[in-house]
Amino acid sequence: MVIDMDINDFRAWHTVVLLLTFIAIVAWAYGRRRKARFDEAANLPFADDDNEAATIADINNNTGDRA
């Protein structure tokens, strides 16, 4: 049995493998088990707003005492 493959056969298999990899990554990213973790990560940039506002207020209050 001789397997006669040329570059086009390789390209076709490579495309199939990449498509399956893409589908696997999308399924992993949108899985229900990770939704809570990704939602929490999506809100991280907004988590420090309260702390930052309090720090800025403290700095402004303390500089007012020096003058």
Q: What is the mean pLDDT of each run of 10 residues along the chain (67 residues)?
A: 83 97 95 88 77 68 60
How far apart, in whole angstroms, are the C-alpha atoms of residue 43 and residue 47? 6
In degrees to the nearest 10, what's the CA dihedral of 47, 50, 53, 55? -90
Give pLDDT, residue 21.
98
Question: Whole-model pTM?
Answer: 0.54
Give pLDDT, residue 67.
47
Give pLDDT, residue 51.
65
Give pLDDT, residue 63.
64
Give pLDDT, residue 23.
98
